[in-house]
Amino acid sequence: YAVSGSVWQKRDLSWRVESFPISLSQEITKQLIESALLAWSRESNLRFYRTTAEDADLRVSFLGGPHGDGYPFDGPGGTLGHAFFPGIGASAGATHMDADESWTYNEATGTDLFAVAVHEFGHSLGLTHSSAENSIMKPYYQGTVGKHQNYRLPPDDVEGIQALYGKLSPSLDATHDSITTAHLTLFSYTGRKIVHPAEKAPPAPTQRFVPPRGPTYRPGLPHPDRCSAHFDAVSSIRGEVFFFKNRYFWRVQATKQLVSLNPAHLGHFWRGLPPDLPRVDTVYERGNDSKIVFIAGTNYWVFKDTVVEPGYPRSLTDFGLDTDGVDGAFVWKHNKKTYFFQHNRYWRFDEQHGRMDPGYPRDSNLWLGLPPDVDDVISWTDGHTYFFKGAQYWMFRDGNVEAEPDSPHSITLNWMYCAVANPPEPTQLPEGRDQRGCTCHC
């Protein structure tokens, strides 16, 4: 067994169920919760009593999807529940079950609420996950444990709970037996509250604060969601593909593996961009010296590796571009020339000679199958050219100037590895309002 390092400083703990699943009656749910707690109190000095008070020590809720604690639920299967370790704070003692599971008990089908509740209460009492063969604290759901009335904790978990709260003392044994009987009689629930002797003296709260674990214990920064982002710029740098959105970016390696599902912060990796720069329009790796060019508005910066060169920003007029910016830029591997795109036009720049090729701009519909106003373009290590716009991309095989017939494809599906192929269109609604126009009060 393994312990979290925090315990309840009292032995009498109150509990209540704050919300219920739709697949089980409230009465059955309360019976199963009470029985799950009994599994732990039977082996230790702990005693549990049900209360209707909102400040109960252990609070069980059935919740769906994201619910504000950093551990979003994911519908049927996947994550089933979680509980917070003992300590002071709003979350301590909270036990959350995924409301979207098909909760059952003592059945081969569905998810056994009793088995999951015993596991989660182990966390509520201070135990962490165990790798022991038969432990109820193994992190993976192991199916039903049979009739809850007959359930006894495996030896590993008995040792764990006794290490935290001591063995059931003989003096309390008789009391515990009567409580046990009382609990069991409640399986034909009367709704009456168990009045426990410990209720006479209010339990003293623990003084130790233990922050919630997992995704929430690292300070989070608000960042865009890769699955709904329409990217500002996409760039092929050193064989990887960088997707930029606002002041963040994602990296996809040559193996097409996302380095991280969370984006990295632009200004802390690419050093030297203005701290108030809201976004970049395009980025490309120069063909002649492998330096990296960032373009935003009518300015550009040249980077040697990840640090900006002195003397920047400079104006796009250096390239002979007399525009108010560019949408995309890339170096085409088939002629080593740099292409700039804006709206329905494109230019070809000769980096070797530092001048724009004559005869440009041209109409971008010379790239057959390409929509106007692309977001960006890359020429990747596989030799193909990819144009990105919105949530889609168009592939031009090898040196072809005609899109593959099955284009466009989904960026979110094939590059960002999201479950949904088509994210919603960007909205002009202010922050806090969703696509349906509903105001969020969370």
Partner 1 sequence: GGNPNGRDISAGMDWLTRYGYLPPPDPYSAQQQTLDGLREAVKTMQKFAGLKETGILDKETIAMMHKPRCSLPDIIPSGYQRHRRKR
Give residues 231-270 in contact with partner 1 (rule: CB under 8 A): 249, 251-253, 255-265, 268-269
Per CB under 8 A, does 166 bind partner 1? no
Listing DSSP states for 239-304 in one string gives TEEEEEETTEEEEE-TTS-BS-SSPEEHHHHSBTS-TT----SEEEE-TTT--EEEEETTEEEEEE
Per CB under 8 A, does 384 bind partner 1? no
Residue 79-98 contact track with partner 1, rule CB under 8 A, x = bound: xxxxx---------------
CB-based burial of residue 442 (10 Å sphere; 0-12 exposed, 13-18 middle, 19+ buried)? exposed
Nearer to partner 1, 264 or 356 (CB): 264
Per CB under 8 A, does 163 bind partner 1? yes
Nearer to partner 1, 196 or 226 (CB): 226
Nearer to partner 1, 128 or 246 (CB): 128
How far apart (Å, rounded) are the C-alpha atoms in residues 27 and 29? 5
**Which span (122-130, 318-326, 327-335, 391-399) binds partner 1, by CB under 8 A?**
122-130
Identify the residue among 2, 368, 401, 420 touching partner 1 (CB under 8 A): 2
Per CB under 8 A, does 421 bind partner 1? no
Tell me the backbone φ, ψ of residue 222, rounded to 5 degrees.
-65, 125
Per CB under 8 A, does 144 bind partner 1? no
Catalytic residue among 34, 43, 101, 120: 120
User: Considering the complex, what minimum distance in angstroms separates the CB of residue 88 from partner 1?
Assistant: 15
Residue 389's H or E segment, with its range, is strand 385-389
Length of the chain (residues): 442
For residue 239, give both structure tokens. Answer: 């064989």
Residue 391-420 contact track with partner 1, rule CB under 8 A, x = bound: --------------------------x---
Nearer to partner 1, 139 or 354 (CB): 139
Per CB under 8 A, does 121 bind partner 1? no
Residue 38-77 contact track with partner 1, rule CB under 8 A, x = bound: ---------------------------------x-x---x
The H-assigned helical ranges of 166-201 are 170-185
For residue 416, give both structure tokens. Answer: 């960002």
Q: How far is CA 177 from CA 34, 180, 195, 214, 226, in A?
A: 15, 5, 15, 38, 55
Per CB under 8 A, does 124 bind partner 1? no
Nearer to partner 1, 14 or 111 (CB): 111
How far apart (Å, rounded) are the C-alpha atoms in residues 90 and 87? 9
The CB-based long-range contact list for 152-159 (8 Å cut-off, 24+ gap) reads: 152/39, 152/42, 153/39, 153/40, 153/42, 153/43, 153/118, 156/1, 156/130, 156/132, 157/1, 157/43, 157/122, 157/127, 157/130, 158/43, 159/1
- Which residues pair with residue 338 across a beta bridge? 331, 349
User: Considering the complex, what minimum distance in angstroms separates the CB of residue 265 from partner 1?
Assistant: 5
Identify the residue among 108, 109, 201, 218 touching partner 1 (CB under 8 A): 218
For residue 250, give both structure tokens. Answer: 């994602």
Identify the residue among 221, 366, 368, 429 touching partner 1 (CB under 8 A): 221
Per CB under 8 A, does 184 bind partner 1? no
Identify the residue among 106, 141, 175, 314 touching partner 1 (CB under 8 A): 141
Per CB under 8 A, does 277 bind partner 1? no
How far apart (Å, rounded) are the C-alpha atoms in residues 177 and 179? 5
- Number of residues in contact with partner 1 under rule CB under 8 A: 57
Residue 120 known to be catalytic:
yes
Active-site residue list: 120
Q: Which residues bind partner 1 (CB under 8 A)?
A: 1-5, 71, 73, 77-83, 111, 116, 119-120, 123, 128-129, 131, 133, 139-141, 156, 159, 163, 210-211, 213-215, 217-218, 220-221, 223, 249, 251-253, 255-265, 268-269, 417
